[in-house]
């Protein structure tokens, strides 16, 4: 096992912290450590770092700094947006309905489910096409009767498909429905200009764009009187109580700043390697299908359905050869369920256990892709031979 | 081939035996990979999380031990093949009036076939388990399956389904140690598993009773029917044949001049046949699906020791191999508790020669014949 080549192709799951980000964070552990709410100079130094980070983020999102709420992660941002909007709707006597799609991240889906259970809120699932895009007409139908909030994923984590945010947001606005988007996968790769996107709320997480784990943000358009889901001190305009994690907030802003400053080079690198990967898999593995949209997808993201190849076993073979990959259906407990996202796209339950996601990043090389393709091809043929042998 | 280049997949349960097996392999320098199979359990009994071979606790323990040993650990989904091969066998066996032993079927179809093949596909050279048995090379070529060194722990009975190909690809690292020594090693290695209880009941029942399981999956075997004497008199009503096993005395609900025992389950008539302790003794039975570990069925009858249940003593007998995978076994002394569905495993000293599944008891009870004559 020692000296084995390791190729990380799971950047959609998480990325390494950029050394420049780490460097920016370092002073905020032991040198500048004051509580940002304190009035003394140590406190003021922390506060100033946080407000500078907020301003940096606001520039990239093309919003006001006051519209940025720092949180602990993308899931927390999704919870705050949806839960906060549902409670706001109850307070305002608005329609107690939630609109979402069948291909959302669990942070959105399970929050919606819990609210439906506990608050007797009606849930409307706007359907997607065979690529995972929310159908604008059906979305408009869903918005017609009003809702507390509509939450639609910007770019899908499992199949990489990018939704038409401006169209969906404008439909929601026409029907006076608050529009939230989980943009966790889009962060660092797609535009986050909230004016252009037209969203009312948007969630991000730093570790998807070479920032640290444990920090995220929610953009909340001015004028939306969201109800707090974490009460305490008045941090983050009263929306998220808890002492600021100064170093991580600084890290988030630095990572986001670098991602958009260097976007041209990064994205063309991702795109080139991603295409090499897709071409190789489709050419070398019989029956392989690309899942998600071929063009309207995240530059770093490739995903496939490899019929007849159990995703769980495939990930084991890849890992034994040093390759980190992922699948919507595989899990550490060997109890795979067909991936809900693939089912929603119209794949059969059998195919929905055969998903594979490979995502490239800053440190991926063409040689990595070629090695991964060799290993993948070999593993696929071994697993298919095994399946044939066991069937006889 | 040096051990470093030799890959071993070790089936880990999170328990003492397989953990120590993994540790011994790591210490010996093999390229070790830990694996656990996700088996099946009925949804009404909590689903796969409740199979006692792979609960979340066991999985966490095995994962931690693998981590401690610095080896990769994977869980493979074998729910469907386990359901089809092992659980169905259990249900069908009860339907036929047998007392099936699904653990042997699991070794036959799942552990030493499905898992072994998965291991080989992963470029492994061997599959290792924590069983108490030993594999040794025969001087003239081929492999012998021998009893575990610890007589109280020997598990060769449930491994009697293995063949030469499987033995050549299998390692039993703890088979040469007494259990106490294995526990001591677990403690020494700081393995958390050192104090866990050995599992006993059928894994796929979770914490439920097998009767509840059968009520759900084979309600016919839980249907009441007549209790008959060996002469055909109706003595009472039974609560479903699956509630009984041969030799059982308790729970019959009969009052009779002497204690009565279950002699047979007649699935066709849904009748439970009972008789006296003397009637219980049989000296001869036919076994089918016989596996000869050498790969070659002996041609002539031979003397051997035969074990008719996992916890029974092996007893002296004459073994007559028959065609089509059958054998006839004639004990020197009548045995109580020869039970259709249980394995009959043949030994020559500590060498396990193979075994089959008891199909039917052939001769009249020895004592019953005497009663008739008198």
- The verdict on A60 and A171 lying in the same domain is yes
Residue A173 domain flag: yes
Question: Which residues in B lie closer than 8 A to residue A390 (C-beta atoms)?
Answer: 81, 114, 117
- Active-site position among A63, A73, A143, A331: A331
Number of Cβ atoms within 10 Å of the Cβ of A91: 10
Tell me the average pLDDT across A49-77: 98
Specify if A142 maps to a domain. yes
Co-location of A195 and A221 in the same domain: yes
Return the SS3 of A105: coil
Q: In chain B, which residue's Cα lies nearest the Cα of A382?
A: B121
Q: Is the predicted pLDDT of residue B76 greater than 50, yes or no?
A: yes
Question: Are residue A289 and residue A235 in the same domain, yes or no?
Answer: no
- With respect to residue A251, please indicate whether it lies within any of the assigned structural domains: yes
The residues, ordered by sequence, that sit 6+ positions from A113 with a Cβ below 8 Å of its Cβ are A123
Residue A23 domain-assigned (yes or no): no
Q: Assign A2 a pLDDT band (cuts: 50, 70, 90).
A: low
**Is the predicted pLDDT of residue B366 greater than 70, yes or no?**
no
Residues A125 and A113 in one domain: yes
- Count of the separate structural domains present in chain A: 2
Do A285 and A344 belong together in one domain?
yes
Verify that A165 and A70 share a domain, yes or no.
yes
Residue among A316, A325, A383 with most chain B CBs within 10 A, to mutate: A316
> Is A123 within 8 Å of A100 (Cβ atoms)?
yes
> Residue B33 and residue A334: Cβ atoms within 8 Å?
no
Confirm whether A2 is domain-assigned. no
Q: Does residue A279 share a domain with residue A207?
A: no
- pLDDT at residue B367 tops 60: no
Domain B281-373's class?
A: mainly beta
- The mean of the pLDDT values for chain A is 95
Q: Are residues A11 and A98 in the same domain?
A: no
Asked if B117 lies within 8 A of A334 by C-beta distance, the reply is: no
A336 and A222 belong to one structural domain = no
CA–CA distance, B186 with B193 (Å, rounded to integer): 7
The answer on A306 and A205 residing in a single domain is: no
CB spacing of B122 vs A317 below 8 angstroms: yes
Among chain B, residues having any CB pair with chain A shorter than 8 Å are: 31, 33, 36-38, 48-49, 54, 56, 59, 63, 72, 74-77, 79, 81, 114, 117-118, 121-123
Share above pLDDT 70 across residues of chain B, in percent, rounded to a whole number: 93
Looking at residue B360, what is its pLDDT? 82
> Closest residue of B to A332, CA-based?
B75
A21 assigned to some structural domain:
no
Q: What architecture (CATH level 2) is domain B219-279? A: Roll (2.30)
| Among candidate residues A228, A261, A294, the one where a domain is terminated | A261
Domain that holds residue A374: 7-15+263-391
- The dihedral built from the CA positions of residue A43, A48, A53 and A57, taken in this order, carries a sign that is positive
Question: Is A20 inside a domain boundary?
Answer: no
ipTM: 0.88
Residues A108 and A252 in one domain: yes
Closest CA to B106 of B132, B79, B134, B128: B79
Output the pTM of the full model: 0.91
Residue B345, pLDDT score: 98
Fold for the domain defined by B3-195:
Rossmann fold (3.40.50)
CATH value at residue A300: 3.90.1150.10
Same structural domain for residues A77 and A190?
yes
pLDDT of B52: 77
Domain boundary among A261, A291, A307: A261
Q: For A269-313, what is each residue's pLDDT tens digit?
A: 999 999 999 999 999 999 999 999 999 999 999 999 999 999 999
State the virtual CA torsion across A139, A144, A145, A146 in degrees, nearest 10. Answer: 80
What are the residue ranges of helices labelled H in B303-362? none
Domain ranges of chain B: 3-195, 219-279, 281-373
Percent pLDDT > 90 in chain B is 68
pLDDT tens, position by position, B124-183 = 999 999 999 999 999 999 999 999 999 899 999 999 999 999 999 999 999 999 999 999
A319 closest CB neighbour out of B37, B59, B72: B72
Task: Please tell me which of the candidates A310, A316, A386 has its beta carbon nearest to residue B117.
Answer: A386
Q: Which residues in chain B are contacts of A336 at CB distance < 8 A? A: 77
């Amino acid at each position: 096992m020692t000296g084995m080549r390791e190729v990380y192709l799971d950047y959609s799951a998480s990325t390494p912290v950029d050394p420049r980000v780490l460097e920016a964070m370092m002073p905020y552990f032991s040198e500048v450590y004051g509580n940002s709410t304190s009035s003394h100079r140590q406190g003021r130094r922390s506060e100033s770092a946080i407000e500078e980070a907020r301003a940096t983020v606001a520039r990239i999102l093309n919003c006001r700094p006051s519209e940025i709420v720092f949180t602990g992660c993308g899931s927390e941002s999704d919870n705050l947006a949806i839960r906060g909007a549902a409670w706001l709707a109850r307070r305002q006597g608005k329609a107690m309905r939630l609109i979402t799609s069948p291909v959302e991240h669990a942070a959105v889906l399970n929050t919606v489910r819990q609210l439906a259970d506990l608050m007797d809120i009606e849930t409307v699932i706007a359907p997607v096409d065979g690529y995972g895009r929310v159908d604008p007409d059906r979305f408009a139908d869903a918005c017609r009767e009003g809702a507390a909030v509509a939450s639609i994923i910007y770019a899908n984590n499992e199949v990489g498909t990018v939704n038409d945010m401006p169209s969906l947001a404008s439909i929601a606005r026409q029907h006076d429905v608050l529009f939230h988007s989980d943009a966790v996968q889009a962060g660092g790769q797609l535009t986050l200009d909230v004016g252009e996107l037209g969203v009312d709320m948007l969630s991000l997480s730093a570790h998807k764009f070479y920032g640290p784990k444990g920090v995220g943000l929610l953009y909340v358009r001015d004028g939306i009187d969201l109800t707090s889901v974490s009460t305490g001190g008045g941090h983050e305009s009263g929306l998220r109580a808890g002492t600021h994690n100064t170093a991580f907030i600084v890290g988030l802003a630095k990572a986001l700043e670098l991602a958009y400053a260097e976007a041209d080079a990064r994205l063309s690198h991702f795109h080139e390697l991603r295409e090499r990967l897709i071409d190789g898999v489709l050419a070398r593995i019989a029956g392989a299908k690309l899942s998600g949209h071929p063009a309207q997808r995240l530059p770093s993201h490739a995903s496939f359905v490899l019929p007849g190849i159990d995703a769980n076993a495939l990930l084991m073979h890849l890992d034994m050869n040093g390759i980190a990959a992922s699948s919507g259906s595989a899990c550490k407990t060997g109890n795979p369920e067909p991936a809900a996202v693939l089912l929603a796209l119209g794949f059969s339950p059998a195919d929905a256990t055969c998903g594979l996601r490979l995502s490239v990043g800053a440190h991926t090389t063409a040689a990595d892709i070629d090695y991964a393709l060799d290993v993948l091809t070999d593993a696929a043929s071994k697993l298919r031979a095994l399946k044939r042998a066991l069937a006889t | 081939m040096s051990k470093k280049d030799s890959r071993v997949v070790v089936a880990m349960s999170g328990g003492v035996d397989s953990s120590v097996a993994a540790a011994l392999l790591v210490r010996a320098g093999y390229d070790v990979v830990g694996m656990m199979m996700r088996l099946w359990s009925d949804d009404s009994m909590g689903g796969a999380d409740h199979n006692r071979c792979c609960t979340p606790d066991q999985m966490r323990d095995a994962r931690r031990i693998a981590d401690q040993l610095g080896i990769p650990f994977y869980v493979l989904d074998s729910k469907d093949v386990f359901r089809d091969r092992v659980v169905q066998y259990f249900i069908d066996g009860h339907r036929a009036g047998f007392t099936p032993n699904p653990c042997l079927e699991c070794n036959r179809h799942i552990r030493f076939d499905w898992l072994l093949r998965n291991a080989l596909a992963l470029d492994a050279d061997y599959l290792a388990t924590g069983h108490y048995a030993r594999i040794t090379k025969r001087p003239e070529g081929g492999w012998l399956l021998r009893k575990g060194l610890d007589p109280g722990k020997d598990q060769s009975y449930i491994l009697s389904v293995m063949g030469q190909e499987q033995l050549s690809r299998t390692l039993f690292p703890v088979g040469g140690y007494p259990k106490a020594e294995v526990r001591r090693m677990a403690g020494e290695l700081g393995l958390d598993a050192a104090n866990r209880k050995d599992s006993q009941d059928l894994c796929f029942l979770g914490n439920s009773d097998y009767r509840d399981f059968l009520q759900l999956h084979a309600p016919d075997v839980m249907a009441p029917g007549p209790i008959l004497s060996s002469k055909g008199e109706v003595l009472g009503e039974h609560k479903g044949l699956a509630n009984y096993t041969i030799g059982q005395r308790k729970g019959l609900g009969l009052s009779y001049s002497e204690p009565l025992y279950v002699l047979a389950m007649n699935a066709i008539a849904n009748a439970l046949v009972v008789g006296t302790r003397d009637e219980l003794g049989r000296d001869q039975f036919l076994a089918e699906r016989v596996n000869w570990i050498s790969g070659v069925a002996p041609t002539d009858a031979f003397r051997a020791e035969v074990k008719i249940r996992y916890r029974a003593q092996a007893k002296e007998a004459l073994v007559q191999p028959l065609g089509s995978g059958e054998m006839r076994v004639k004990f020197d002394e009548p045995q109580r508790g020869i039970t259709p569905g249980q394995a009959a495993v043949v030994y020559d000293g500590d060498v396990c020669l193979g075994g089959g599944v008891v199909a039917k008891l052939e001769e009249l009870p020895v004592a019953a014949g005497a009663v008739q004559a008198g």
